[in-house]
Structure 1
Amino acid sequence: MYFSLITRSIFCLLMFYAVNALAISLEADDEEALLSLYGDEEMISLATGNSKPISRAPAIATVITAEDIKEIGATDIDQVLETVPGLHVARSPRGYNPIYTFRGIFSQFNSQVLMLINGIPITNLFAGDRNQVWGGLPVQSIARVEVIRGPGSAIYGADAFAGVINIITKAKEDIAGTEVGGRAGSFNSWDGWALHGDSWGGFDVAVMLEYGDTDGQRRTIDEDAQTFFDSQFNTDASLAPGSVNLQRENFDARVDISREHWRLRAGLQRRQNVGTGAGVAQALDPSGRFASDRWNADLTYHNPEFFSENWDVTAQLSYFNTSQEVEQNVRLFPPGADFNSAPGIDFPEGVIGNPEVFERHARFKVSTFYTGFEQHQIHAGTGMRYGDLYDVKEVKNYEFDFETGLPRPLGGLRDVTGDLSQVFLRERDRKNYYVFLQDVWNFANDWEFTAGVRYDHFSDFGDTVNPRLALVWATRYNLTTKLLYGRAFRAPSFAELFNINNPVAIGNPNLDPETIETVELAFDYRPSNALRLALSLFHYRWDDIIQFVSDPGTSVNVAENAGRQKGFGMELEADWALTSNFHLLGNYAFQHSTDEKTGKNAGHAPQHQIYLRGSWEFLPHWRLTPQFNWVIDRSRTASDSRPAINNYSIFDLTLRRTAIKRHWEVAFSVRNLFDSDAREPSPAGNPGALIPNDLPLSGRSFFGEIRFRF
């Protein structure tokens, strides 16, 4: 089972002992002290579905505001998330897509993390991630980011596993007028944006437009997959040493319209000219280009007094359409690649594979908070989701030899769309129905007990039930203690269930969902209104990990529930306003995760991570913000014989001048000031890693920006 019966029994006994035996009334809190300590505290809705102060929320949470984002000079959501304790942003070779690694939980497609935009998942059916053609997410339209470390399936269902990230976009009140701005910097990068928020004809309206274009950083890959095959087949086709391909062009448009109980939001996220990173097959491809269109719309009705003042009702209908498209031929291996499958050079034009997928997602949910009981707040809801991978296209000039696992010529570039003997995936759909119930019980002064459970039914793999328990104790007026338990699941992706004609990754329709159980103990201490300290301890058990494992006697890898992992660790946070003009923020995270199949370190994720940031207003309207990120002790997996990857530290600096002639604002940022050679781990391989010297991150870079508000 997931935890031993003894472990679960002991936890439940401790929980109920705390509820019954420790329900003592403390002395009356000092109201003035409470107001000074908590009056400006950030609120979070991600933990329970309604707004609560972070210190009292039944979860380990972080909130990052638009002001925080601007202060650090962030240009993309990845730079924002790297500041969260216990979260590290690693990279995948394909497109350098981000891998949001919570507490040592790492996978190449990162499907164990749920990302929401305004509370609505953007998970794709194909790979279970946010999109294989991600292309970044600009930050000018973001009002705040809420992050939960730990499981959230009892509220959010599938994939709220290692952590949940909710990106909340700006509304009229967040913009309050018009802002236009631009940024230029290293790598031939250009960004521009226009935001407007106002009231029109009784409607509150916000319109947000963002455009960006960059060549991307050009760090060098010394050896790649083709380097290995050159050594095996006596060829000279590899483009390594060569630079990564990280160019991209993005256009983001969002609109938010509300009136009384109704709210309509819609948007388009268009990605074009997206480079292949270190290569789709870990072989450099400087000319391949991807594209993606992501359309979204949602209509929400929210009435806090639906039947009476005790009934808070929300209903929401949403639609999401997303694509992965090819703009220019994508080469798995470069021109001149030869695998000795036929006389002469097998692929004089390179191994070309252009897979495209198109998906649509429709969701409906209704939920209510009932507060008519004296000591209980009931949260209940139900909903459904329909996901349809409705179109699969592929043009390619190869097929796989299932005896060797290597590509062989297909007789020229062919459109194999609809040919189930050649195409990589069948078209499929998924239906999900769910119901959840949660009770927040204020059973004594300063004590709050949350119990919740969610039931999900999926049309392709069955049923799952996920509970949560949380005990929150206001130990003193300035100290909060939390004891938390949660169980979560990760739904198999369509690639894991239904992949065909690819011996490296054959799907298995009999997969079970991955599961995780987590126990957390947390303390939030505010000795003064200038200082906040927080400590969280955690232990998790991750079961039924989906991995592509070798089918004995063949070169085929088939998806199986083959892995198990456990981990423990801690996160320490400090937020200190030393003076009215100087603010210091920092965190330290430690985790140790073990692959239970090998008994070795699970690898990839940093065992230690330190983040520090200062904010100094050294003159009126002048602010200097240095930040430092130190990534320490990343082990290799048991199958990877390379030495441990080097530690790295990155120092950034942002200088900002506001209120120039009341309306203007300028900033200058330098990232990786000391030009550190920072690298993220490349995947292990057999017999060795195909990119042996890992994935280099950007060197020193410079950006300048200007804003005008009116």
Structure 2
Amino acid sequence: MNFTCMQRRYTAVLLFSFSCSYLPAQDLDSLLNLNAFTQESDLQKILNKNVTVSSQKLSSRETPGILSIITAEEIQNSGARDMIDVLRLVPGFDVMQDLQFVMGIGLRGSWANEGKVLVMLDGQPFNDLLYQSVAVGNRFPIDAVERIEIIRGPGSAIYGGSAEYGVINIITKAAESLDGVIVYGTGGFHADAVGRANAGVMAAQKSDIFSWDLSAFKGSGIVSDAKHHTDPIQNSYNGNSDYTDQDLSNVSQADPININLGLKYKGVSFRAMYDAFETSDPSVNVSFKSLFTDLRYTWQVSDKLKLTPQIKFMQQRPWTYGPKENRSPDFEVQATRIYSQVDGQYEASRKASINFGAIYFSDHGDYETVLNTFTGDRSLTLSNYAFYAQALFKHRLANATIGFRYEKNNRYGGAFVPRLALTKKIENFHFKVLYSQAFRAPSLQNINIALGGKIKPEKSDVFELELGYQFTPEMLLAINAFSISTRNLMIYGSQGEDETFEEWYENSQKSGSKGIEFVYTIRQKVWYANLTYSFSQAIKNNSVEVYNVSQTIKQYVGFPSHKVTLNTNFSLTSRLTINPTFIYASTRYAYTTVDDEGNAISTALDPYILTNAFLNYKNILPGLTGGIGVYDILNERPATPQAYNGGYAPIPGRSREYVVKLSYQINFTK
């Protein structure tokens, strides 16, 4: 089927789905005459909720960032299997392949996995200390989530050198809202393979003086169930038979473990977490293991001043990898971080406040097992200090946010980034005008194998504009435009094989993207719909060669220019809901094969539409909720390409997956 026919078919499906969801709405003239200040609707409750990724007390429509908030209700109704399913419904986000079938995050048309998106779970940063990357997939306990808050834009001024393009803050029910016990489980089944088997338990008890929470999550899964996978690029580069005619359901894995404990007594809070994730391609096993501890005290010095001193300790073994046949690693590093911070919030008046702080942290890496060709230090320590401040001034015309961060490292020097935002909600209308500089701090491995021993921080200039209008208490339209220009990109390079293999990091001159994002939300008592459209385009004069494809200069490898999502939910009864979702992505380009000289060449990947449906039944028995659903109903199986020319062909997509979920909750009596 040619591109035009496929595009017509996908467009017709989307238009039909959207028109069906829109039928009960009123015509535009009627909507414009309605007042959006009646009793708070379900949509308004979400929009008016202060979010923790915002440093100031502002609702999502006025906070100085482009936000997406995903609630526990939306996750449960959609039957999301993992974070990939959630992120695919968020404007601008996509998930790509890194190395060894490790899945990473792309944002607004650019590869963002190495330190450009900060990912936190209950306040603990999941970016690894070696590369600042985050492996996603069947990793996070998605059924334990209370809320996911996402900044689709820079967060470096507050969050530092791991938040250049965005922030994802995952908050669990146990840590946030649970006062009882929940047991949950998920099974996913393909025609000839088990896609996943995950289970967890949460318990928590809350009071004004003392609170505790404890949760455990364990699972097993696969990356793909393709039966006859052959990677011509790997075969050409390495001559490895492991990448020829493989059943990926037997040779790939995605197995998570997470144990999470939180304690809080008056102003003192403590959290400890252990996380382990193992994944693999046909030849190599990769594991990520982390231990987090976090102690903080919230001191209300006066009615106007609050100080929060904090100490964190992180110990990781990230990116431990080696051949499957002997389970002995070729590469293993123990990385630790000791982190101290004092955060302050001063409310000068009802209309003026400031958030400020100072940070000192030390990263240390012990390279316990490395390849014979490794040229870096076997032990490396980085020392960092930072200062930040962000002031909010509220005025009847606009809220002005002015901030900065300065961070200095003993190896790469300093980085200064300012931030300026004007936001306001005026009756039903809101606007945001945002400018930020953001940076990506070099991490242990970036510095240890830097070409010539020198590497600079990345620096981005980001402009954003959002306009939104709430037609009724149940209906909101928001449109934003963005421009991202990044210089001094830290890019990985390698050459040679076996004994002649060399690898390094170096700075490349320029990359970035620009585009628009559209969000239309309507929430009625018995149904809701969320329609999004994302467009992104590569900037001119991109200097990162591994991001380019021969077919076009307007797209980077692996990313579609256009993405449309539609997430709908209908209450069939007071306890039974059905949740159809649709995700459309336009043509992508990926390195899929090699030429006669053995060089990787790019080809076009057809547009796809993912059609999913989930049926959710609440309180089958008191406290018991169950659901069944189908993912990729049309069996499109979109491939997952590598987000750069890095030696891997796309991973074949999963086939149609049947999902079963159960959860049982007991609430403690007051």
| Counterpart Cα distance in 2 of 1:43 and 1:556 | 51
One-letter code of the match for 1:149?
R
Distance 1:703 1:434, change over 3 A: same
Q: Residue 210 of structure 2 is aligned with which of 197, 203, 212?
A: 203
Which residues of 2 match residues 131-530 of structure 1 at below 5 A?
Answer: 136-171=139-174, 174-186=177-189, 187-188=193-194, 189-199=196-206, 203-219=210-226, 220-229=228-237, 237=241, 239-244=243-248, 245-271=251-277, 274-277=278-281, 284-285=282-283, 288-303=284-299, 306-324=300-318, 329-330=323-324, 354-373=330-349, 375-394=351-370, 426-442=378-394, 444-474=395-425, 476-499=426-449, 507-530=451-474
One-letter code of the match for 1:656?
N
Unaligned runs of 5+ in 1: 1-28, 278-283, 332-348, 401-421, 500-505
Distance 1:587 1:229, change over 3 A: closer
One-letter code of the match for 1:544?
N
| Counterpart Cα distance in 2 of 1:201 and 1:585 | 37
Distance 1:198 1:309, change over 3 A: same
| Counterpart Cα distance in 2 of 1:106 and 1:703 | 30
In structure 2, the partner of 1:675 is 635
| Counterpart Cα distance in 2 of 1:104 and 1:691 | 19
Q: Residue 569 of structure 1 is aligned with which of 505, 515, 519?
A: 515
| Counterpart Cα distance in 1 of 2:240 and 2:145 | 47
Give the fraction of aligned pairs with identical amino acids, expressed as a percent: 21
Distance 1:42 1:611, change over 3 A: farther
CA contact (8 A) 1:44 1:146 kept: no
Q: Residue 588 of structure 2 is aligned with which of 620, 634, 653?
A: 634
CA contact (8 A) 1:172 1:204 kept: no
Q: Residue 538 of structure 2 is aligned with which of 589, 593, 602?
A: 593
In structure 1, the partner of 2:69 is 63
What per-residue deviation string (whole Å, max 9, x for no partner) do you get for residues 53-101 of structure 1?
Answer: 100101101111222211111232222222211111222242x322211
| Counterpart Cα distance in 2 of 1:574 and 1:651 | 19
Distance 1:328 1:466, change over 3 A: closer
What per-residue deviation string (whole Å, max 9, x for no partner) do you get for residues 250-277 of structure 1?
Answer: 2211112112212111111133xx3422
Q: Cα distance, 1:247 vs. partner?
A: 1.6
One-letter code of the match for 2:636?
S
CA contact (8 A) 2:337 2:362 kept: yes
One-letter code of the match for 1:263?
S
Q: Cα distance, 1:556 vs. partner?
A: 5.5
Q: 3-state SS of the aligned residue for 1:130?
A: coil
The answer to whether residue 529 in structure 2 is matched with residue 584 in structure 1 is yes
Larger Rg computed on CA atoms: 1
Distance 1:684 1:431, change over 3 A: closer
CA contact (8 A) 1:159 1:488 kept: no
Q: Cα distance, 1:423 vs. partner?
A: 7.1
Distance 1:566 1:295, change over 3 A: closer
One-letter code of the match for 1:574?
Y
Name the stretch that deviates more: 639-648 or 72-81. 639-648
| Counterpart Cα distance in 2 of 1:481 and 1:706 | 41
Q: 3-state SS of the aligned residue for 2:47?
A: coil
One-letter code of the match for 1:324?
P
CA contact (8 A) 1:680 1:697 kept: yes
| Counterpart Cα distance in 2 of 1:630 and 1:31 | 32
Distance 1:318 1:192, change over 3 A: same
Q: Residue 700 of structure 1 is aligned with which of 625, 634, 656?
A: 656
The answer to whether residue 453 in structure 2 is matched with residue 534 in structure 1 is no
In structure 2, the partner of 1:106 is 111
CA contact (8 A) 1:469 1:484 kept: yes
CA contact (8 A) 1:498 1:508 kept: no
CA contact (8 A) 1:563 1:596 kept: no
Q: 3-state SS of the aligned residue for 2:298?
A: strand
In structure 2, the partner of 1:26 is none
Q: Cα distance, 1:322 vs. partner?
A: 1.2
TM-score scaled by length of structure 1: 0.79
The answer to whether residue 81 in structure 2 is matched with residue 125 in structure 1 is no
Q: Cα distance, 1:622 vs. partner?
A: 0.4
| Counterpart Cα distance in 2 of 1:393 and 1:657 | 50
| Counterpart Cα distance in 2 of 1:702 and 1:318 | 41
CA contact (8 A) 1:93 1:695 kept: no
| Counterpart Cα distance in 2 of 1:34 and 1:513 | 49
What per-residue deviation string (whole Å, max 9, x for no partner) do you get for residues 394-414 of structure 1?
Answer: 4x6xx56xxxxxxxxxxxxxx
Name the stretch that deviates more: 241-250 or 658-667. 241-250
Distance 1:550 1:122, change over 3 A: closer
One-letter code of the match for 1:264?
F
| Counterpart Cα distance in 2 of 1:508 and 1:276 | 32
CA contact (8 A) 2:212 2:264 kept: yes
Q: Residue 76 of structure 1 is aligned with which of 78, 82, 87?
A: 82
Which residues of 2 match residues 533-552 of structure 1 at below 5 A?
Answer: 533-548=477-492
CA contact (8 A) 1:546 1:563 kept: no
| Counterpart Cα distance in 1 of 2:568 and 2:236 | 46
Q: Cα distance, 1:566 vs. partner?
A: 3.5
One-letter code of the match for 1:80?
V
What per-residue deviation string (whole Å, max 9, x for no partner) do you get for residues 631-687 of structure 1?
Answer: 1132459x96422222221111111111122221111121111111301223665xx
What per-residue deviation string (whole Å, max 9, x for no partner) do you get for residues 603-635 of structure 1?
Answer: 332211111011011122001011111111324
| Counterpart Cα distance in 2 of 1:362 and 1:471 | 36
Distance 1:372 1:636, change over 3 A: same
Q: 3-state SS of the aligned residue for 1:81?
A: helix
| Counterpart Cα distance in 1 of 2:151 and 2:464 | 12
One-letter code of the match for 2:295?
L
Q: 3-state SS of the aligned residue for 1:124?
A: coil
Distance 1:42 1:86, change over 3 A: farther
Q: Cα distance, 1:513 vs. partner?
A: 0.8
Which residues of 2 match residues 644-659 of structure 1 at below 5 A?
Answer: 644-659=604-619
Q: Cα distance, 1:249 vs. partner?
A: 3.0
Q: 3-state SS of the aligned residue for 1:363?
A: strand
Q: Residue 572 of structure 2 is aligned with which of 618, 622, 629?
A: 618
Q: Cα distance, 1:221 vs. partner?
A: 2.5
Where relative contact order (Cα < 8 A, 6+ residues apart) is larger, the structure is 2
TM-score scaled by length of structure 2: 0.84
In structure 2, the partner of 1:97 is 102
